[in-house]
Structure formats: structure tokens, C-alpha cells
Structure 1
Amino acid sequence: MPGLAIVYVHNHWTGGWPALITVFGWVSVIIGFVSIVFPMQLTGIMQTAGPALHAVLPIIGAVFLLVGGVLSFKAHGRE
């Protein structure tokens, strides 16, 4: 649902950081679609990649936190 909202409201393919928001919206839509259409296959993948995935999750979280901070700064900062 958040991906659809982002794509619906913010579908800008101009250069710079606004296009990054649109890309994140489309990635979210694709991930949501895959998780709805292939739930059992994703469960099997998650069980197989469990230990390796747990090692990578803090890094993924840090990247999302950094990207979210940059986008928030760009959205609310002065130009």
C-alpha cells in the first residue's frame, strides 16, 4: 500500500532526488506484488537464507535509515 501511494502521488521522473522517491515507490510496489503472488516460495527462501539474512539485516537497516534521513533533509531543507 505505501508503494502505491508513493507512485500515485509522487510519480516524477525528473533528475535528482525526486526520481529516487519514485524508484523507491516502484520497488515497494514490486516487492508487495511478489509477496502477494508467491508467498510460499518466499517463505522457503527466507527459511533457507535465514542465518545469512540475519547477518545482513543491520546493514540493510542502516542503509534505509541513511537514505530516509537524506530524503527527509532534502524534502524539508532550504534549497
Structure 2
Amino acid sequence: MDRSLFLARLMGPTFVAIALGILINLGMYQSMIVEALHTGILFYLSGLLSLLAGLAIINLHNRWQADWRSIITVMGWLMTLGGIMRIVLPQVAVAIGSTVYSGRAATVVVALITGAIGAFLSFNGYVRRA
């Protein structure tokens, strides 16, 4: 199977599930986000996991083509940079996270964007035939 299809099939449903989880359980996720935005071992471990996943994606799929596959590469780079930020500059990462997740509406917007990316990747991974 093509790497792009494999990663789209892996990332797409995961992003959709995350988005649905946030939208269905908004209050609980907002509490979890507030907890997660405190520096500590969980913050560090989330950065480490994000860095590892991002590096795996960009090492397997560093493709800059003018089609849907570039989204996978961009997501890999964002995960890598986010992981590095949480490990090297945790205070900056907390400030950015606090700004992004500043309220209920912002959390819903992030969930909708995540869900849209997930649906798009799922469509391209499972439905669309090149």
C-alpha cells in the first residue's frame, strides 16, 4: 500500500475521533486541556510522543506535491515542531496552547478543523481512487 494512503487511513479516523470526542464531551475536554497546559512530566511526554510521531511521518512521507498528500507532510512537520516546542521551550508552548484554547468557542473551532482534516484524509485514504 502506498505510504500516503496508509498514513491517511491512520491519521484521518484518528482526527475524526478526536474531533467527535471534543464536540460530544466539550466540558470534559476543556478540563483536560487546562490540565495538559501545565508544565510537568505529562507535558514533556506529550512533546516526546508528538516529536517521535512527527519525525516518523516526515521520514516516511516528506512529499511536497501539489495535491492532498502535502497535508500529511504538513501535519508531520507541525507535530515535530510542536514536540520540539514542548520539550525545549515549554513556557512558550503553554502560552501558545493557552491562546489557541482560550475558550469554549476556540475549542469548538479547533475540533471542527481537526474533524475536517480527518474527514478529508479519511476520504482520500479510503474512498477516493486515484
Task: Tell me which interval the TM-score lies in, with the shorter structure as reference length.
Answer: 0.7 to 0.9
Query: Offset at 1:42?
Result: 3.3
Tell me, in whole angstroms, the C-alpha distance in 1 between the residues paired with 2:55 and 2:97. Answer: 28
Q: How does 1:1-79 map to 2 (within 5 A)?
A: 1-43=52-94, 45=95, 49=99, 53-55=102-104, 56-77=106-127, 78-79=129-130
TM-score (norm 2): 0.51
Query: Offset at 1:14?
Result: 1.3
Tell me, in whole angstroms, the C-alpha distance in 1 between the residues paired with 2:123 and 2:98. Answer: 38
Could you tell me the percent identity over the aligned residues?
29
Q: How large is the Cα RMSD of the aligned pairs?
A: 2.3
Deviation track 1:6-55 (CA, whole Å, cap 9, x = no partner) reads: 11111111111001110111111111111110113434x269649x6132
Q: Which has the higher contact order (CA 8 A, sep 6+)?
A: 2
| Unmatched runs of 5 consecutive residues or more in structure 1 | none
Count matched residues.
77
TM-score (norm 1): 0.79
